[in-house]
Each structure stands twice: as structure tokens, then as C-alpha cells.
Chain A
Amino acid sequence: MHSIRSKIAIITVLVILTSVLSVFGASYFIIQRETDQNSVDMMNLINSDTNKALEKYFESIEQSVEITSNIAIDDLDSVVLANYGAIKTGTDISAQTPDQIKALDDYLESYCNRVQGLFSGVAENTQGINSYYYCISPEISKNVHGFFYMKEGKTGLIEKDPLDASNLTPSEQLGATWYDTAVDMGRPGWVGPYIFQKEWVYSYFVPIYKAGMLIGVLGMDIPCEILMDQVKDISIYDTGFVCLLDKDAKVIYHPDLPITSDLDELQLSVSSETFTKENSGNDLIRYEAHGTKRQMSFSTLSNGMHVVCIAPTEEINAPWITLIRDIALITVIVIFVFVFLILLVIGALTRPLKQLTNASKRLADADYDVDLTYQGKDEIGALTNAFMRMRDQLKLYIENLNHQIFYDTMTDIPNMRHFFKLAVEEKKRILSEGLDPVMVYIDIIGIRYYNRQYGFEMGDKLIMDFSKILAENFGEHRICRFSGDHFTAVAEGDKVDEILQKVLDECRTAVDGKELPIRVGIYNNALEDVDVNVACDRAKFAADRKKGELSSTITYYDEDMLKRNEINVHIIQNLDRAIEEGWIKVYYQPIVRASNGQVCDEEALARWIDPELGFLSPGYFIPALEQAKLIYKLDLYVLEQVLKKMKKQKELGYYLISQSINLSRMDFESCDIVEEIRKRVDAEGIDHSLISVEITESVIGEEFDFMKEQVARFQKLGFPVWMDDFGSGYSSLDVLHQLHFDLIKFDMRFMERFDEGEEGKIIVTELVNMAISLGLDTLCEGVELEEQVEFLREIGCTRIQGYYYGKPTPFEEIVAKIERGEALTVENPEEADYYASIGRLNLYDFSTLSNGENDEIMTQYFNSLPMCIIEVNDTKLWYNRCNRSYRDFLKRTLNIDFKTLKRDILDTKDREESTFLKAIMHCCREGGRLIVDEKMGQDTYVHTLIRRIGVNPVTGTSAIAVAILTIANESTSGMATTK
């Protein structure tokens, strides 16, 4: 990871480096060029200075000689020369006479003296000369040679013997005598360097002409040493120097080379041509000599001499190379210093950031105690501040949140999550004390009804009050509100009873002085050391075992429950296997229509025949599967089996009768059960009306609207929906009001208590009545006795289920029974409507007969009318059923017991004459209704309403409803009181 610090440092360094490098590069070239230019300027300056000095020097010599020479020419009298025969003409060839020679010599002698006199004066005023002389041409005079003055030692110019031009030694350097050289030159000029009188000299000669004739050579010598002195001490850079070359580019002075060395020896890369220029101009001449690179500039003097300035390139470049090196060094130092400073500064800047980062990390790791010290007023300071505020806020929120998470909002006691933690700790603590920890599960009984009665607010208050009781007795951190009205607590095994007793005591007056019943389950860890949540589960399980009891209970989780639990686990784990391997069998229990005693429905019931555990009760595996939310698998499996069976029935040519399947509340939660069922039923091509769905009342309870919708969906699809186990729990009649079921199935407990008194019968009767009034079919299960059957038939319960007719049986057995002819008759579906319509007729409800006519008096009157249903086939007729009033009527009026035997009308005469019978027959044939009066016995006239309510399409049997409207000699009130 690159920290901001290193990033900024790197970027800054890069920026500095880039700019430094570009500046460096630019300055490199600029300096190089400048240095180059400087060296050119400097060397040229030295050249021109030297040049000027030398030029001045030479000029002074030249002037001296020329001044003298001008006078020497002017002083010479050409007339005299002519007269003394010195001037020769082409025509005059006569030789000079001795007199003339003598005279000329004399003349010349004096002439030379004059010139010498002048020249000496001039020479004395001329610096740096070695000698001056006038050498008379031997052609003018053989005797007069002129004069010669020369410096010797440190003395001044001393007269020497005149130089005889005809007797001079040729100079090695000049290739001739200096005199001849001068004469050959023909004009004033510098000659040299050459050795004269053992000394290297440079001479300025002026040939003197008069009348076109050479008179002699006037000259001055300068020692080369003086020239050398002029340049010897000039040094450029370290070893650079100035040297002098003569006009032929031969060395006059060079620190390393002897005088007159050739140009070649300098190893200049240039030819002597180069030196014909006045100077080297703006460019230095670069060359390499003796392995050293050098640069040279030169300038040419007016006399052709060259001043050459030479310096090694290395030295010329040395300053700028040093400069560059220094700059580079400084740059490196600057960069280092900058990097250091940047690191420092950025370090200082980023320290709070770093702190912040660390703090953030710690904060991210939920360390809310992290503290920051930075107090700066800059952005980071602000950030730090903000961070601190954020931390405080966060801390607050987290604490708050933690509380919310770990504590129940309503009761402010630990919630489940928190409790588990606490419980684990508590368990450890208790165990460490050598005690057995127990888990207590507490449920308030009937809180739902309390809520409904007093409102949720009061309910909540109750829960809060109760939680206070628990907190007081168990301790604040040993209890928990699990959910709703469920609480858990942890306690020591030896103290739990004591604590609970106190709790129960307090509960006795908890609800405004009234008792608050609670259901308590206890799991002692001694039974089996399990996790806290498992213990909780088991405690709940124990408590739930007493579900339904309305007073306070305390239940210990025992070995059985443990075993049961194991079974549950087994069931849940093996459901799929059970389905696959056929451990689950579907048994069918017949449902018989009360009106004809034929099987009109079958209820499909799952049976778990476990290879390990044997036959498992649905009471075991259904709750287990419900709890595991796996019940839908079972239920759908059952449906599939049912459909398979129906397919088979079809194949076998049996009547297809309605099959009912049980649905659990969990089915609706686990999947779209409506759709799942429809899919499967449609897949088998079974009519929806043939599959009834049984839903227990408890299913409806909690999510009423949802269930209402689901029921409506089933019904819309044509599936009849039955309410199962009506009357088993907190059944509410309101449900029946809100939801329209196709059938109500009364819980078998009604039959179980059949013998326990009249109350049960009354309830059932009234319930059936109510159902009939609501237009619902009724079914009673758990019917085992004939009298029960009779009772149910009488009260108008349309269908009956129970061992009386048959246990749940596998299909194979049913088939076998059928084959054996032992099976119950199965209702022909075509007759179903007929019997259904008979069954639906409420003998307690006149409206079913009056066909909607609103006659208040009649209604009042007939509300308790004796009624019966008579079936008529051809001439035979028999009672299908009747109401109690009718029985009473029969008993009292005709003194006969109600019997369902078939009788032939044509059997007895009297019966043939009976108007009543006639009317029935008529009604049978014609339909509609009739009111007949018949005299029954003595003085008794019976006013009867007869109406056909249906015709069996198979047998042609007609069902006739009969209502005794009035009995002439009896008061209606008397009839009404009959029970």
C-alpha cells in the first residue's frame, strides 16, 4: 500500500526531478554555448590584445625606420649623385672617374653621418630595438658601407663596423643574406626571424631608392626575445598559451617548440592557408595534438605575423564542466533535502491522517473508545473533530442499538439473542457451583383473548408487569422475553421450584387482583447437557405439552419428551427417505352420508410406518414436520397418492367420490399450496370438486385475512374447503361468519363426550342446526356407536366419519374388501346431489319448505313444526329422517315410533285411502307442494304441508318433505314445548 505521504513525496520528487532535469539540460547547453562563446571571446581578446601590443611595437619600429628612411631619401641629392656619376643611364656608359668616386664617397660619408645622427635620435626613442643600421649598396659605393649600431649587453646602442653588403654571410633562415632579402623584397618590410650576430632577430628593412636606384637598406633589428617576452607570460586557463608565428606560419615563439619550427610540428589540423585570413573569427579552431584536444584562435598582424592562442579543450570546458558538476551536485543535494523536507512536512500533515486512519480502522473494528489528539485548525483538524463527533454519535447509536438488539424494547429485559449469551454464562457459573442449571419456559395463557378483550395496550402492560415479576424472582439478567407472551429464564435446578412458586403466587393477583395463568416448561440440564437454545426448545416443548389447559401448569421435560424429541429429529431427517421408500402410507377413512348410509367421501390420512420405529402416530410426525415446515411435502405427497389412487379407482370402474386431504398452516407458509394442489389435480385430470381441503380452525386463527384469501382461492377453483376439528380449540363462531366453508367437521371430542351428559348433545345439535342454517354441510368424526349415528342423523348432520363405519384403511385393503363384498356401499355420485339436497334440508327451518315465502305468522308457527322427509319409490315409501317434533307428533298423535322401514303404500287399504298418502304420491309425481288435511285417529285433524324436494336420478325415488302445520285438537304451544 502506498501511503499518501509516499505518493505525494514521489510525485513531488518527480516534479522536482523533471524540472531540475529540464533546467539542467537547458543550462547544460546554454552554459556549454556560453562557455564556448566566452572562450572564443577570451581567446580572441587575448589575441587582439597581444596583436595590438605587438602591432604598436612593430609600428613604432616601422615609424622610426620610415621616418629615417624618408629623410634618408630626401637628404640624398640626386643631382649630386648624377654629377658624381652614381646615376647611370642607359646611354651613358662612361665609368666614374676616381675623382667622382672620391667625391661621391665623401658625399655619402657625410650623408650617412647625417642620417645616422637622425637615426640614432629616432632609435633612442624607440623601445625594444637591438640594432639599427644603414647599409649602403655596394653598387653605389665600394668604400662607404653606411653605419651599424647595436646593443651589446646592457649598454646602449654602440657603434659597430658598418656592414658591408657585399661581404655578408647568408642567413640560414632567410636563404640569402639579409641584405639581399631586403633588396629582393624591394619595399619596407619585416624579415625574420633569423640569426644575426648570434641572436634571433626580426628586422624591419626599408630599401632606399633614389633616382630609381637602390642606395642602400635602412633597418632596425628587434630581438625575438622581446617578441617572446610579449607573449610568453600570457597564460590562458591552466596551460593555455600564446605563440607567435611568422607570416609563413613558422614558429617564432612556442613554449614547446624551437624557433622556426614548421607549422606541421604544431600538429594543427589546419593548413597554412588558414593563416592567410586576418583572424579566426568567431569560431575556435579545434584540433588534436600530442593526444590533447585543443582549441586555437589566431589573429594576423599587419606584418603577416600571427598571434596564436592555444588552449586545451579540457581546460576551456573545465569551468562549465565543473559548473555542471556543481549544479548536478547541488541538484542532488537539493532533491535529497527536498525529499527529506517533503517527507517531514507530509509526515506532519499526514500524521493526524494516519491517526485518523488508525482510528477509523479501530472504529471499524467496533472500538469506540478510540481517541484522537490532533487539534489543528486545518481541514484535517476539522476532519478529526468530525470524526470524534461521529465516533461519539456512533458510540451512542451502537449502545442504543445494542440495547435494542439485546434488550426487549417493551419490557427492557434481555431479548432472546442477548439471553442466550447471558444464559451460557449463567449456565457456566451454575455448573461451576456444582449445581444443575435449568431452563424455564413461560407462556402466558390466553393472552390473545386478553388482548381481544382489553386491547393490545393492556395486553402489553400485562406482559410488562409479568416481566417485572419474572425479573424480580429470577433476576434481571436471567430472564428473557422470547416473543409475544413467551418468556424464558435460567435458574439453578434446586431453586427453580421455589422461584416459580413465588412467581405463581404473584401471578395469582397479577391481573387487577385476578389470576394470570401461566404455562411453564422446565428443562433440567442434568437430563442431558445441551446447548442453551436446545434447552430452551425443550423447556418450551415441555410447556407446550400442557397447551390447552387454562390454568397454570408446570411441566418438566422428561425422558419421554426426550425420546419424543429424538423421534421428531428422526422424522425430520428421514422425511424424504420415508416418501421415497414408501414408509409413508396413505390410509383412507370412509365418510358416510347420513341420509343414505353410503360412503360419499374418504379422508386421506398419512401413516408413517417406520422400519426402525414402527408405526408412528400422526400426532408425532405431523407436529414435528409442521415445526420443521416440511409438512407441505407430506401433504402434497398424500395428495399425489390420493390422485394416484383415484386414477386406479377409475381404472377399476369404481365410483369416484370426493377425497379430502388435510392441510396444515405450515403448508401455506412453505409454498403456494393452492397452486401446488391445482397443478397436481389438473395433471391427473381429476375434477376439482372431488378434492376437498381440510383446514383446521387453528390454521385460520392467526393470519385471518391471508387464510380467507386462500380459502376463497380454493373455492374459486372449485375445491370444497372444509373446516377441520371445529370445536377443538378456541373456536370462534366469528370464523364461520367471516369465512364460508363448504363443510364443518366437528371435532371427535364431541363424540368422545357423547355419554357424559345431555349438554354435549345439545351443543352438537345446536351447532348442526346453526350449520344447517348457515347452509353448510356438517360432518362429525369419531363416530363409533350406532346411537351416535342415529343421533347425528336425527339432528341433521349430513356426514358421519368414524370407526363405526370404518377405520382408515389402505386402498389395497379397501379393494380387497370390495372384492370380498365386505365394503360399505359407495354412493353413486349421480345420486349425491339428491342425497345432499335431502341432507341439506333443515328440519328445523320452515323456510326450506316455504320456499322463501315470508309469512311471519307461519314462520313463527312452523319454527317448531314437526317435520320429516319421506322417500317415495313407486308405491313404497319410507322415512328418511324427521325432527324431534315429528317423533313427538308420531308418538303422541299416532302413538307410533318413528321408523325408517320401507313400507308399501299398497300394503294396507287404509293407507290407500289416506289423503296424506295420496297427496304424497301426487307430489311425488307432480312435484311442487300441497297442503292437506287429514283426520288422524279420532277428532284429530292434521294439517300437513307436503313438498317434493328432490328426485333420485338413478332410482327415481323422490324425496318429500312433510311439515305438520296444525293439529286440530291440540294447541300449538303444546307442540312447541315438546322436547
Chain B
Amino acid sequence: MKNDHFCRLFLCVLLTASIFVDTSCGSQTSTSKTLQQFEPKKYEISHFLVAVEDEPDTVDFQCTSIHYTIAQNVFNRLVEMENDEAGNMQILPSLAKSWEISDDGREYTFHLQEAVEFSNGKPLTASDVQFTFERLLTHPDSCNSDIVDIIVGAGELESGETDHLEGFRILDDLNFVITIEQPFEAFLACLSMPGASILDQESTMAAGDLFGKDPKWTIGTGSFVLRKWTPGEGMLLTANQHCWMGIPKCEGLDLRFVNDAREIRRMFENGEIDVLDLDELGNAAEFFLHGSEYQDRLFSVPRIGITYIAINESIEPLSDVRVRKAMQMAINRPVLLAAVYGGRGQIENGIFPHGLYGYNPDLPEIPYDPEAAKELLAKAGLEDGFDLTVSVNSASTRWELQVLEMAKSMWDEVGIRAKIKVIDESDFMSKRKNGELACYTAQWMADFNDPDNFIYTFFGNSHNTTYRSLCYSDEKVMKRIQQARVISDSKERIKEYQDLERIIVQEDAAWIPLYSRTRYYVTSERLQGIQASWNGSVKNKYCEMSIISDEE
């Protein structure tokens, strides 16, 4: 009742005011200005897409490796990466509408989209791009500088020897040339990473530390505009009505900072959340996968990542390839997948998981063959088996333990007496870094859709392989991996990667690939058009989703 009264009163006042405004000359321009200024108020928050987020310290994507939602929705990159229908990686133009790569593969000439404006109305220019990359290299908290450290002069800039990125040459407002130190086919893929999102030079410089923390100063060219960030509660993003890509399909994003699985589940069941990542729910995820209620609203995508068991070649008897192979063959991976994830995933046989650019479907399956394993162990002189310490990070999730427990029991069958040792996280990390862990399990998710992101990370050089406590020893292979990076012919390069993959996993049994998981989302009844990007994330596809409002 009271509201009614208030509304009526308000309407009256409004009406009077509007009459006043209409009748008074010359005030119309000011009215329209006012409207523009208060544009955000037009948005109806109930029409916003609601999703759950962990609250970030900062959304400065140059300084975080965790939170990229803002980067993906408020900013754009020069290029975007997407899988084609065949599952192959495709680099798509974004802010850069086109580019040419020099024959030697070192010079990239980019042509920016015309008439792209940041949400503050400032046009995008080549200098913004230059600023972005220079900031990425020079920002003290930057954690993504490796994206562009291949550019000529990056090191000098990073170290402070110069204040200018040598390899970045501006031709004019919209055109510029980037020279990289050596040809690197994944360079464009790197540029598609969230960390390479393009900043507005002027406002970002003016913002200083406020960039990424204060919505007012966090200005991008993307589909949404960050409007509000209420610590402990969430963030509000409204559709960028002037987005160069077109207006997003939903009016805005309502990102809630919630991390309690039970609360998230409650919220979703109450219809308060539009997109629910079942990963957030733990055991309760089962309740959405079974039963009839949510079947229609389930959305599954492959998760471009691989779960593996690392085997440290530098530790006896794991240096013996036969032992490693025995370990591979002793694991019944489908059962493992079923027991841990209810079979929701793919058994992997190499390094590159399903969905990754360069995945090799023809890779022979690593068989579950305990007898063969035993034989191999016997051949290696370990008829009585051997003792193995398997390390588990105390901070790790339940499934890691489960995986290892199951692996332990399976290895038990063939005589490998595994002992699961839970160690402190920091201890775990330092030991792993130093190549001291004998065996552990982990998963690697693709940063960008390129095999390099996998193979180089683990087997690219002795540092990398030691870093993961793999301690792969074949220098030749490692060399080839490094060389593969610069193979400019992609087919050639993939072929090389696939060959290397086969050598490392199938021949050298450097690790035990387990599986890649399927990722599940449940959507609210009002959400339509859910899509995921190549890596199975839906977070950079919010602009494609729409909310059916109740009124309609």
C-alpha cells in the first residue's frame, strides 16, 4: 500500500516535472544529456545474467592468473582463439581485423579495427596496444609477461634498460608491427590469452593503482562495462551499448561472490543463479547429473586439460622405462575415471587431451594389462615389486587422493607397493620444483589452444621437466620440442608434436596419462544460448547468452 502511494506520488511528481520540462523552452538538450549520463539506470538488474565468481583481489588481468572474467567480458584482445568445427584451433580477428606475418615469421603487421571505442568513448589506437604490452612487461606485479616476452626488446624493457619496447613499431593509428625475437607460431594464440587484453592507455595511466580495482577506471572495449564492484557481494556489468562487436544479448552480468558449495546449490535451486558450474559443487554435483529434473538444462563441454600421474625418471627404479611402462599398464584407467568421476570424461593416451589443437585421436591406447606389467617388472628385475612413495599435496582435492588410492591398489596388484604420503603444500611445491617428488598426480589445463602449452611446459627443456618433477632425460626430444615451436608450417608442427607426444608417452612412458574430464554446467530456466569457448569455459561467452525475462 505504502509503496503504491509512494509510486503514485512519485508518478505525480514525475508527471509534473515532465510537464514542467516539456513546457519550458530550451531545456530539452539538457534533459537528453541527463539521460545519457544516467544511462546505466535504464538497466533492470533482474534481467542480468547471474553467475558465481570467486572474489578477486584485482581484475587487472596483467597481474592475476586466476581471475579473467572481467578481462574476457570487459576487454578484447587483438585476436581470439576458437576451435573450428573439426576441433582445430583457429585464430580469429578481434581488435586486429587482419595481420600479416613476414616470411621469416618474426614480423607481425597488425591492422586494427576502425572505429573501436573504449567504453569511455576514446578510440582505440596502436599506441594503446603498445602501452598494453609495455605495461605487461614493466608492471611490477605483472604475472603474464611471458605472453609478450618474445617480442624484440622485451627483456631490455623488463629489466629497465630501456623504456621502449623495441619490437613494437607504430605505423599509424591503426597499424603497427611487432617483431619477435624468433618465429613463434603460437604467438597469436598467446595474444588471445586474457592477459593480453588491450588497455586504454589514457585512462589506465590516469587510474594508476585503481585500474582493476575501481570500476570507474577499468575501461575496456568489450561487450560489458564494469559498473559496480561491491566487495564481498559481487560485481555488476552492464551491456556496452556502443560495443564495436554489437550489443551483447543480455543486459548485463550480475556476478556474485560466493564460494560455499552448499550456498551456491541453494541459490541455484532457488533460481538465483543462471549458470552453474558443477565443478563448484563437489559431491552435490551428482544431484544435478542424475534424476530427471536437470537433464534438459545440463550443458557439457570437454575440458581441455589432462589428468596425469607424474613419474620422476630421476628416481630409481622409475628411471627404467619398463618400470614406467609397467606402471602405465597396471592402471585401469576407465575404472579410475568411473570411480572418481562416474566415467564422465575421456581416457587420454598422450599429452594433448581431447579438444586441444593437435590432439591425436590415432594414438594407440595404453592398455590395462596387469599381467604384462608384472612381466615388465620382472624383466626389470623387480619380480617382487618395489616400494613407491606417492606424494599428495595436503591442499589437493579429494579426487587426487582418490586417484592415487585407486592407483595404489591397482599397482598393488602388480607388486608395486605404493605408499601415499600427504605432505604440506609448500613442501610439496618446493620438492616438485626441485624434481624430488617420485610420483604425484595433477592436471594441466590449457592456457591457450596450442600443444606447445602442454608439451613445452612439461618436456620443453630440462628446467621445465625438472620443475614438474618429471625429470625427463631425453635431450634430443627436448631439443625437438624447442625446435617445433618455430616450425611455421602448422601441419608440420602438429605432426612433429604428435610424434614427440608418441615418443614421450608411448615409448618413454614419461608420465601416465589418465583422462580428460567433461565439464558440466546447469543453466537456469530463463537462460538461453549457453556456449563455451574452446577451453570449455563459458565465462567469455556471456555476451552470447540471453535471459528470458519473466515479463516476456
Interface contact B339-A187, CB-CB below 8 Å: no
> At the interface, yes or no: A79 with Cβ under 8 Å from chain B?
yes
Interface contact B402-A83, CB-CB below 8 Å: no
> At the interface, yes or no: A13 with Cβ under 8 Å from chain B?
no
Residue of B nearest to A69 (CB): B283
Interface contact A188-B339, CB-CB below 8 Å: no
Residue of A nearest to B285 (CB): A209
Interface contact A78-B291, CB-CB below 8 Å: no
On whether A212 and B341 interact (CB within 8 A), knowing A92-B334, A184-B291, the answer reads: yes
> At the interface, yes or no: B406 with Cβ under 8 Å from chain A?
yes
Q: Which of B336-352 contact A (CB under 8 A)?
A: 336-344
> At the interface, yes or no: B288 with Cβ under 8 Å from chain A?
yes
Alpha-carbon distance between A211 and B341 when the two chains are bound, in angstroms: 5
* Min CB gap B145→A, angstroms: 41
Residues on the B chain within 8 Å of A79, using CB = 339, 402, 405-406, 409
Q: Which of B286, B287, B293 contacts A212 (CB 8 A)?
A: B286
Number of A-B contacts (CB under 8 A): 86
Residues on the B chain within 8 Å of A644, using CB = none
Q: Which of A91, A185, A213, A302 contacts B334 (CB 8 A)?
A: A91
Residues on the B chain within 8 Å of A89, using CB = 334-335, 337-338, 343
Interface contact B334-A33, CB-CB below 8 Å: no
Q: Which of A349-376 contact B (CB under 8 A)?
A: none
* Number of residues from B at the complex interface, CB < 8 A: 29
> At the interface, yes or no: A344 with Cβ under 8 Å from chain B?
no
Q: Which of A160-219 contact B (CB under 8 A)?
A: 183-188, 207, 209, 211-214
Q: Which of B1, B293, B334, B343 contacts A187 (CB 8 A)?
A: B293
On whether A87 and B335 interact (CB within 8 A), knowing A33-B1, A211-B342, A282-B1, the answer reads: yes
Residues on the B chain within 8 Å of A188, using CB = 287
Against A, the Cβ 8 Å flags (1 = close, 0 = not) of B399-437 are 000100110010000000000000000000000000000
Interface contact A186-B283, CB-CB below 8 Å: no
B interface SS class: helix
Residues on the B chain within 8 Å of A282, using CB = 1, 3
* Min CB gap B261→A, angstroms: 11
Interface contact B342-A207, CB-CB below 8 Å: no
Q: Which of B270, B293, B337, B339 contacts A81 (CB 8 A)?
A: B339
> At the interface, yes or no: B41 with Cβ under 8 Å from chain A?
no
Residue of B nearest to A182 (CB): B291
Residues on the A chain within 8 Å of B3, using CB = 282
Interface contact A187-B338, CB-CB below 8 Å: no
> At the interface, yes or no: B332 with Cβ under 8 Å from chain A?
yes
On whether A82 and B338 interact (CB within 8 A), knowing A184-B292, A187-B291, the answer reads: yes
Interface contact A211-B1, CB-CB below 8 Å: no
> At the interface, yes or no: B299 with Cβ under 8 Å from chain A?
no
Interface contact B294-A92, CB-CB below 8 Å: no
Residues on the A chain within 8 Å of B293, using CB = 185-187
Interface contact A70-B294, CB-CB below 8 Å: no
A interface SS class: mixed
> At the interface, yes or no: A469 with Cβ under 8 Å from chain B?
no
Residues on the A chain within 8 Å of B332, using CB = 82, 92
Residues on the A chain within 8 Å of B339, using CB = 78-79, 81-82, 87, 211
Residue of A nearest to B4 (CB): A282
Alpha-carbon distance between A83 and B340 when the two chains are bound, in angstroms: 13
> At the interface, yes or no: A852 with Cβ under 8 Å from chain B?
no
* Min CB gap A58→B, angstroms: 14
> At the interface, yes or no: A547 with Cβ under 8 Å from chain B?
no
* Min CB gap B299→A, angstroms: 17
Alpha-carbon distance between A636 and B70 when the two chains are bound, in angstroms: 138
Against A, the Cβ 8 Å flags (1 = close, 0 = not) of B292-312 are 111000000000000000000
Q: Which of B292, B337, B338, B341 contacts A186 (CB 8 A)?
A: B292
Residues on the B chain within 8 Å of A83, using CB = 409
Q: Which of A73, A78, A213 contacts B406 (CB 8 A)?
A: A78
On whether A213 and B342 interact (CB within 8 A), knowing A73-B283, A184-B292, the answer reads: yes
Alpha-carbon distance between A90 and B290 when the two chains are bound, in angstroms: 18
> At the interface, yes or no: B289 with Cβ under 8 Å from chain A?
yes
Residues on the B chain within 8 Å of A91, using CB = 334
Residues on the B chain within 8 Å of A183, using CB = 290-291
On whether A186 and B335 interact (CB within 8 A), knowing A209-B342, A211-B340, the answer reads: no
> At the interface, yes or no: A573 with Cβ under 8 Å from chain B?
no
> At the interface, yes or no: A400 with Cβ under 8 Å from chain B?
no
Interface contact B287-A207, CB-CB below 8 Å: yes
Alpha-carbon distance between A333 and B513 when the two chains are bound, in angstroms: 97
> At the interface, yes or no: A88 with Cβ under 8 Å from chain B?
yes
> At the interface, yes or no: A37 with Cβ under 8 Å from chain B?
yes
Alpha-carbon distance between A187 and B266 when the two chains are bound, in angstroms: 12
Of A33, A89, A209, most B-chain CB atoms within 10 Å: A89
Q: Which of B311-359 contact A (CB under 8 A)?
A: 332, 334-344
Interface contact B343-A90, CB-CB below 8 Å: yes
Alpha-carbon distance between A899 and B293 when the two chains are bound, in angstroms: 183
Against B, the Cβ 8 Å flags (1 = close, 0 = not) of A244-272 are 00000000000000000000000000000
Residue of B nearest to A85 (CB): B335
Residues on the A chain within 8 Å of B340, using CB = 78, 211
Residue of B nearest to A89 (CB): B334
Alpha-carbon distance between A729 and B169 when the two chains are bound, in angstroms: 165
Against B, the Cβ 8 Å flags (1 = close, 0 = not) of A289-309 are 000000000000010000000
Residues on the A chain within 8 Å of B337, using CB = 89
Alpha-carbon distance between A207 and B405 when the two chains are bound, in angstroms: 25
* Min CB gap A179→B, angstroms: 13
Alpha-carbon distance between A81 and B339 when the two chains are bound, in angstroms: 8
Residue of A nearest to B334 (CB): A89
* Min CB gap B18→A, angstroms: 28
Residues on the B chain within 8 Å of A212, using CB = 286, 289, 338, 341-344
* Min CB gap B366→A, angstroms: 13
Alpha-carbon distance between A213 and B291 when the two chains are bound, in angstroms: 12
On whether A186 and B402 interact (CB within 8 A), knowing A89-B343, A211-B339, A213-B342, the answer reads: no
Residues on the A chain within 8 Å of B283, using CB = 70, 73, 209
On whether A187 and B288 interact (CB within 8 A), knowing A82-B339, A88-B338, A212-B343, the answer reads: yes
On whether A207 and B290 interact (CB within 8 A), knowing A90-B343, A282-B1, the answer reads: yes
* Min CB gap B422→A, angstroms: 16
**Shortest 6 CB-CB contacts between residues of A and residues of B:** A212-B342, A186-B291, A187-B287, A186-B290, A209-B286, A89-B334
B residues whose Cβ falls under 8 Å from a Cβ of A? 1, 3, 270, 283, 286-294, 332, 334-344, 402, 405-406, 409
18 example contacts (A-B, Cβ-Cβ < 8 A) are as follows A82-B336, A83-B409, A87-B335, A87-B338, A89-B334, A89-B337, A185-B292, A186-B288, A186-B292, A186-B294, A207-B291, A211-B339, A211-B340, A211-B341, A211-B342, A212-B341, A212-B344, A302-B270
Given A79-B409, A187-B294, A212-B342: 11 more A-B contacts, CB < 8 Å: A33-B1, A79-B339, A79-B406, A81-B339, A82-B335, A87-B338, A89-B337, A89-B338, A184-B292, A212-B343, A212-B344
